[in-house]
Amino acid sequence: MPNRDYAARSKNKKSGNKFLILIIIILLLILSGLALLLLSDNNNKQPTVVAPQAQSQQPKSSLPSRPEEVYSYIKDLETREVPVDKNSKLAQLTKEQEQKIQQQKEAEKRKLEQQTQAVANQSGTQETEDVAEVATPEDTQAALAKKAEEQRIAEEKRKQAAELRKQQEQAKKAEQQKQEQEKTTQKDTAQQKIVATTKSASEAPKSSGKFGLQCGAFKNKAQAENMQARLAMAGYNARISSSADWNRVFVGPIGDRSAASAAQSNARSVAECLIIGM
């Protein structure tokens, strides 16, 4: 069986494959270079058409040069009033604009009033000066006499007013005194009636000659009974009279007023009693 050199055969095969690949790459490079040359030649052969560009000439400005003076037409336009319908104008204005317009109107009105007042004052001053220049000594004396008369009349009016106030105050004081006197008279009359009633009441028992003593008035009946017992022990005929909420302790009738006074003096050791008519 013959010996075969497999290693040498594989090496030859590999070197042949590499050589073939290298040739293919070189061919591809040559073909691509030729193609690029052809394309560049075609591009060079086509003429380049250049479009003529129209030169645009800018027109010269016909406006005048900028003015050197500073105009205030913008402010004038801002405050200028255009005669339009009032309702549509108010509808288009804002609140701030309405306030500005109102303030401007008020300022113009005040300015006009001040001018009118100044003219009036100037005319009045001029008239006064004219009158003073034209016035004669006789007119001056007449004016002084008139002024003195007016002062005298005013002084008389003040005196009359003061006199009237004084009379009114006096009348008021007299009315007050009269009312006080009436009150005093009524009070005295009432006191006299009370005294007369008391006197008649005290004289009636005197005529009959019956007097007694009242030695207390108690709301508690036990206290009244205690006072009755003490008077009885002192030798007095005491009794209790109950009416409403009060319990009164009486002694008597004793007799005339002198006898009742003597009994009152003797009963002071027991209680303070009052002389009453019975």
Give the CATH number, domain containing residue 213. Answer: 3.30.70.1070
* Residue 243, domain member (yes or no): yes
Question: Structure pTM?
Answer: 0.27
Low-confidence winner among 71-80, 133-142, 158-167, 251-260 (lowest mean pLDDT): 71-80
- Asked if 212 and 250 touch (Cβ cutoff 8 Å), the reply is yes
Preceding peptide of 205 cis, ω within 30°:
no
* Residue 75, domain member (yes or no): no
How many residues are recorded in the chain? 278
* Residue 190, domain member (yes or no): no
Residue 136 confidence (pLDDT): 58
The residue behind tokens 């002071």 is 268
Nearest to 80 by CA among 96, 63, 55, 97: 97
Q: Above 80 in pLDDT, residue 145?
A: yes
* Residue 105, domain member (yes or no): no
Q: How many domains does the chain have?
A: 1
Radius of gyration of the chain, Cα coordinates, nearest whole angstrom: 73
* Residue 155, domain member (yes or no): no
Phi first, then psi: give them for residue 31, nearest 5 degrees.
-65, -40
**From the CB of residue 235, how many other CB atoms can be counted at a distance below 10 Å?**
10
Q: How do residues 45-97 score in pLDDT, each as one tens digit? A: 555 555 555 555 555 556 666 656 555 556 666 666 665 555 555 545 577 78
Low-confidence winner among 69-73, 136-140, 182-186, 257-261 (lowest mean pLDDT): 69-73
* Residue 223, domain member (yes or no): yes
More confident residue, 3 or 1: 3
Rounded CA separation 270/260 (Å)? 15
* Residue 67, domain member (yes or no): no
Question: pLDDT band at 215, cuts 50/70/90?
Answer: confident
Sheet with 238-243, edge to edge strand ranges: 238-243, 246-255, 211-218, 274-277
Q: What number is the average pLDDT over the span 23-36?
A: 92
* Residue 249, domain member (yes or no): yes
Rounded CA separation 94/101 (Å)? 11
Q: How many helices (H) and strands (E) does the chain have?
A: 7, 4
Q: How do residues 190-208 score in pLDDT, each as one tens digit? A: 766 665 565 555 554 444 4
Q: What number is the average pLDDT over the span 8-30?
A: 79
Q: Above 80 in pLDDT, residue 3?
A: no
Average pLDDT over the chain, rounded to whole?
Answer: 75
Q: Retrieve residue 191's tokens.
A: 């006191």
Provide the residue range defining the domain that includes 258: 205-277
